[in-house]
């Protein structure tokens, strides 16, 4: 699934990049076309403009043709070989005349150019610039910022003056840099990839849950009930046969197995229920914690388990069935997920702002904060090389959550890797 996800993301990125490069080359081609078209229209407009200027009587000036191939103007003589060249020379000297006598009307050229452009479907308004030999602007039709503009090729005018005319257009949006296209494409790509990864993760989770759930609680019943029943029978036989000195220990083991069997039954039952029903009853909290803790002290001799109850607390209204199981699960986890040679678990029972507070602290391996929400799901176990060897079904915390919800309470976790974990459970007093 990871490979397919990777390939999809790679293909998508490749498509996006191809699209951006295609857009870029399209943009360049179109920009080039636009420049070519507007430049040739500018050339044509300047020709039309100069031809029209001949009609104004005040623009008359004298020039002559000698022997049909010498164009003579003032003290200048130029050899020409065709009527086109003659026409061209006439236009150039007319330009010099107009410019020299301050008769050049750039606005007239501008309106001719606009007409030509609109005939070709270009409605943008250009600014015309008249520039001298060293590219300084001498005249312009109106003010405009030169930012984001497209300019035509310069058209040479004048024989003596050697000026140029260029037109500047605001860049149509299509011609703007592809930078923003790129940003948008990448935002889109990022969101898409995020969604894809999220979906992959969800599918993975679902598959994992489905796989584990396929084992089913029925399978667990088989795994737990049968061995427990067998052990109970064996220890029962031993108690009958063994010497009185071993009898005490065997009786304790037998009692413990019976308790585990009860707890297993009760947990399996509870997990199958959509909602638990808690029957509140005053419990002797000291007795309750002492029983559970001494059981663990007997079974997990290497561990240190302490409990502390606030002095003024006696018989909180909790329940006889589930509460002790919650404590037992937390102690068990505190010892199980612990790399210390001497695991330590401390239990505190307090009262605060209308809640009974059960706090269980351990000095174990800790829980990564990203797993805080997930560990309460049924069958969820943290995939960690430190916990591979630990047996479990991922049901303990799911059960604790179910009980806490039934109490309408809450659970908080504080954990530091390699230092330990603190589970705080609040049970409302009423
Ligand atoms: P189980 O212990 O049977 O796997 P739980 O529901 O009790 O199931 O715990 C779920 C997971 O949470 C465990 O697999 C373990 O990785 C992690 N976990 C629970 N309690 C602790 C703890 N006190 N310290 C470190 N990890 C813990």
- Tens digit of each residue's pLDDT (9 = 90 or more) over 286-296: 999 998 998 88
Q: What is the per-residue pLDDT for 222?
A: 59
Tokens (6 digits) for 344: 């330590």
Identify the DSSP state of 125. P
Handedness of CA 376, 377, 382, 388 (dihedral sign): positive
Integer Rg of the chain from CA: 46
DSSP code per residue over 149-190: EEEPPPEEE-SSS-EEEEEEEEPPGGGS-THHHHHHHHHHHH
Q: In what side-by-side order are the strands of the sheet with 420-428?
A: 304-309, 344-352, 355-362, 420-428, 410-416
Please tell me the residue having the least CA distance from ligand 1 atom 16. Answer: 382
For residue 258, what pLDDT band results from cuts at 50, 70 and 90?
confident
Asked if residue 343 has its Cβ within 6 Å of ligand 1, the reply is: no
Q: What is the 313 CA–ligand 1 centroid distance (Å)?
A: 30
Residue 60 has pLDDT above 80, yes or no: no
Please tell me the residue having the least CA distance from ligand 1 atom 7. Answer: 396
Angle, CA 389 vertex, CA 261 and CA 411 arms, to 5°: 65
Asked if residue 367 has its Cβ within 6 Å of ligand 1, the reply is: yes
Q: What is the per-residue pLDDT for 176?
A: 55
Task: Indicate the average pLDDT of the chain.
Answer: 85
Closest CA to 345 of 324, 362, 332: 362
Asked if residue 337 has its Cβ within 6 Å of ligand 1, the reply is: yes
Q: Which residues of 123-133 are buried (b: 16+ CB within 10 A; e: fewer)?
A: eeebbbbbbee
Q: What is the 396 CA–ligand 1 centroid distance (Å)?
A: 7
Q: What is the per-residue pLDDT for 78?
A: 86
Atom of ligand 1 nearest to the CA of 420: 24
For residue 414, what pLDDT band results from cuts at 50, 70 and 90?
very high
DSSP code per residue over 120-147: TT--PPPEEEEE-TTS-EEEESS----T
Question: What ranges make up the beta strands (E) of 263-387?
Answer: 281-282, 304-309, 317-318, 344-352, 355-362
The whole-number average pLDDT for the span 139-148 is 79
The residues that bridge with 129 in the sheet, in sequence order, are: 140, 166
Closest CA to 132 of 169, 163, 94: 163
Non-local CB neighbours of 343 within 8 Å, separated by 6+ positions: 300, 302, 303, 304, 334, 335, 362, 363, 364
- Tens digit of each residue's pLDDT (9 = 90 or more) over 207-232: 766 655 555 565 556 556 766 777 77
Q: What is the 254 CA–ligand 1 centroid distance (Å)?
A: 26
**Which of 386, 397, 404, 412 most suits a substitution to test ligand 1, by most atoms within 8 Å of the C-beta?**
397
Closest CA to 277 of 419, 102, 409, 407: 407
Q: In 10 A of CB 400, how many CB atoms?
A: 22
- Tens digit of each residue's pLDDT (9 = 90 or more) over 322-356: 898 899 999 999 999 999 999 999 999 999 999 99
122 close to 38: Cβ distance less than 8 angstroms: yes
CA atoms of 54 and 71, how far apart (whole Å):
17
CA atoms of 57 and 55, how far apart (whole Å):
6
Residue 421 has pLDDT above 70, yes or no: yes
For residue 148, what pLDDT band results from cuts at 50, 70 and 90?
confident
Least confident residue range of 74-88, 98-112, 307-321: 74-88
The whole-number average pLDDT for the span 52-63 is 77
Residue 247 has pLDDT above 80, yes or no: no
Q: What is the per-residue pLDDT for 390?
A: 81
């Amino acid at each position: 699934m990871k490979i397919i996800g990777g390939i999809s993301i790679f293909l998508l990125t490749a498509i996006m990049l191809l699209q951006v490069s295609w857009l870029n080359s399209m943009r360049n081609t179109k920009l080039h076309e636009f420049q070519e078209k507007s430049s040739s229209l500018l050339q044509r407009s300047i020709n039309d403009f100069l031809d029209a200027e001949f009609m104004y009587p005040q623009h008359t000036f004298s020039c002559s043709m000698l022997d049909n191939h010498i164009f003579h103007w003032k003290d200048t003589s130029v050899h020409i070989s065709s009527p086109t060249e003659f026409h061209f020379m006439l236009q150039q000297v007319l330009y010099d005349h107009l410019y020299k006598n301050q008769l050049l009307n750039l606005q007239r050229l501008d309106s001719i150019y606009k007409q030509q452009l609109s005939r070709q479907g270009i409605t943008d308004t250009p600014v015309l610039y008249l520039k001298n030999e060293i590219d300084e602007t001498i005249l312009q039709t109106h003010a405009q910022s030169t930012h984001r503009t497209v300019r035509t090729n310069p058209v040479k005018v004048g024989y003596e003056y050697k000026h140029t005319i260029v037109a500047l257009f605001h860049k149509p949006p299509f011609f703007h840099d592809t930078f923003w296209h790129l940003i948008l494409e990448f935002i889109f790509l990022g969101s898409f990839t995020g969604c894809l990864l999220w979906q992959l993760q969800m599918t993975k989770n679902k598959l994992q849950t489905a796989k584990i759930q396929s084992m089913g609680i029925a399978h667990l019943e088989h795994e737990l009930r049968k061995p427990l029943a067998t052990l109970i029978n064996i220890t029962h036989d031993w108690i009958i046969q063994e010497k009185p000195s071993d009898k005490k220990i065997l009786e304790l083991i037998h009692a413990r197995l019976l308790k585990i069997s009860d707890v297993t039954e009760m947990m399996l039952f509870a997990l199958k229920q959509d909602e638990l029903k808690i029957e509140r009853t005053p419990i002797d909290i000291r007795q309750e914690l002492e029983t559970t803790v001494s059981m663990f002290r007997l079974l997990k001799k290497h561990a240190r388990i302490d409990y502390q109850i606030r002095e003024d607390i006696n018989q909180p209204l909790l329940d006889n069935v589930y509460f002790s199981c919650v404590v037992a699960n937390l102690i068990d986890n505190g010892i199980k997920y612990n790399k210390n040679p001497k695991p330590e678990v401390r239990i505190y029972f307090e009262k605060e702002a209308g809640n009974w507070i059960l706090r269980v602290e351990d000095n174990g391996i800790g829980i990564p904060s990203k797993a805080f929400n997930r560990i309460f799901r049924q069958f969820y176990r943290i995939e960690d090389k430190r916990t591979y060897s630990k047996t479990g079904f991922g049901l303990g915390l799911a059960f604790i959550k179910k009980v806490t919800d039934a109490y309408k309470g809450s659970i908080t976790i504080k954990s530091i890797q390699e230092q330990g974990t603190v589970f705080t459970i609040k049970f409302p007093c009423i």
